[in-house]
């Protein structure tokens, strides 16, 4: 027998299994809570804390400012558009007014031009009619020999006629003044110079040098002209019997021709 058999056992009495299990559960729960808390604390310690401040009033103010700015921009743009449209309307009105004035001026000028053309045509027709009548008279006179005869020419007129007839057959040269070549006004000037009558050099001036006479009342020694008085392009001397002598052109030279050969426009008398 053991020497300790009589001594009360020093071991604590065994607890029941149910109590041990309950205590273990409580302890586990506590440890779990502590572990979660520790983990949470560690996480909080590892990450910085960010705090968000909300500024509702500031955000509202900013929104109002933006709306006001947009409204001002819209107002300014509308004003600019209105100004631009007003300028366009004014320009269009001005252009329309100017166009109307230009049209009226153009119509006025066209009407004046038309009237001037009609007046010129009327005068031209009247002049043509007069010339046709006079030329018909000349032709008739030449045909029947009714014109004044050279035999009636005396004095200065006879001397002029003798001079121009003496040059028949000479050459025609533009600018020629003799003694063997002539142009139309050079021959007429020389014929009158030799009797002491001074005439202008060119046919335009010779056609207005004396008194205008009708072609139906010609006298020997009268100066015939072709073209308008003051702007004649040819002159010759009437020698009677429906004939004239003049420096005609390079092909004929100085020649004596019938009035019907080339009816003149008018005549002047200087003797």
- Domains within the chain, CATH numbers bracketed: 147-269 (3.90.1720.10)
The model's confidence at residue 34, banded by pLDDT at 50, 70 and 90, is: very low
Distance CA 222, CA 235 (A): 10
Selected residue with higher pLDDT from 175 and 155: 175
Which pLDDT band, with edges at 50, 70 and 90, does 167 fall under? very high
Residues 194 and 174: their CA atoms lie apart, in Å, by: 21
Residue 114 token pair: 């038309």
pTM recorded for the entire structure: 0.49
**In the predicted structure, residue 264 carries a pLDDT above the cut 80:** yes
* Chain center to CA of 86: 29
Give exposure, 4-25, as e/b (b: 16+ Cβ within 10 Å).
eeeeeeeeeeeeeeeeeeeeee
pLDDT band at 41 (very low <50, low <70, confident <90, very high): very low
Write the DSSP symbol of residue 210. S
Question: For residue 209, what is the DSSP state?
Answer: S
Q: Which residue has the higher pLDDT, 169 or 63?
A: 169
Across-strand partners of 235?
A: 225
What's the whole-number mean pLDDT along residues 72-80? 85
pLDDT given for residue 104 in this prediction: 87
Separation between Cα atoms, residue 185 and residue 176, nearest integer Å: 9
Q: In whole angstroms, what is the distance from residue 266 CA to residue 243 CA?
A: 14
State the average pLDDT for the chain. 78
Q: What DSSP line would sit under 141-205, residue for residue?
A: HHHHT-SPPGGG--HHHHHHHHHHHHTTTPEE-TT-BSSSEE-HHHHHHHHHHTTT----SSHHH
Four-residue CA torsion sign, 216, 220, 225, 228: negative
Neighbours of 149 (CB within 10 A): 13
Q: Which two tokens stand for residue 118?
A: 């009609």
Can you give the pLDDT at residue 137?
Answer: 55
Candidate from 64-73, 84-93, 175-184, 210-219 with smallest mean pLDDT: 64-73
Segment 178-208, tens digit of pLDDT = 999 999 999 999 999 999 999 999 999 999 9
Tell me what pLDDT residue 194 has: 95
């Amino acid at each position: 027998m053991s020497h300790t058999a009589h001594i009360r056992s020093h071991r604590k009495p065994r607890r029941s299994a149910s109590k041990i299990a309950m205590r273990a559960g409580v302890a586990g729960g506590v440890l779990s809570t502590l572990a979660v808390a520790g983990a949470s604390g560690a996480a909080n310690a590892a990450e910085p804390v960010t705090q968000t401040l909300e500024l509702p009033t500031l955000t509202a103010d900013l929104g109002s400012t933006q709306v006001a700015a947009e409204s001002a921009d819209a107002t300014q743009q509308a004003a600019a558009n209105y100004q631009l449209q007003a300028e366009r309307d004014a320009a269009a009105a001005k252009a329309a007014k100017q166009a109307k004035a230009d049209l009226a001026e153009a119509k006025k000028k066209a009407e004046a031009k038309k009237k001037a053309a009609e007046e010129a045509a009327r005068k031209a027709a009247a002049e043509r009619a007069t010339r046709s009548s006079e030329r018909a008279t000349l032709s008739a006179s030449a045909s029947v020999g009714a014109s004044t005869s050279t035999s009636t020419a005396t004095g200065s007129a006879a001397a002029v006629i003798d001079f121009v007839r003496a040059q028949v057959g000479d050459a025609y040269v533009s600018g020629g003044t003799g003694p063997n070549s002539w142009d139309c006004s050079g021959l007429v000037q020389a014929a009158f110079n030799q009797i002491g009558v001074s005439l202008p050099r060119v046919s335009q001036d010779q056609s207005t040098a004396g008194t205008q006479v009708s072609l139906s009342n010609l006298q020997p020694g009268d100066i015939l002209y072709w073209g308008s008085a003051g702007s004649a392009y040819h002159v010759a001397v009437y020698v009677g019997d429906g004939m004239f002598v003049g420096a005609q052109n390079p092909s004929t030279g100085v020649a004596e021709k019938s009035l019907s050969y080339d009816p003149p426009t008018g005549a002047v008398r200087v003797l």
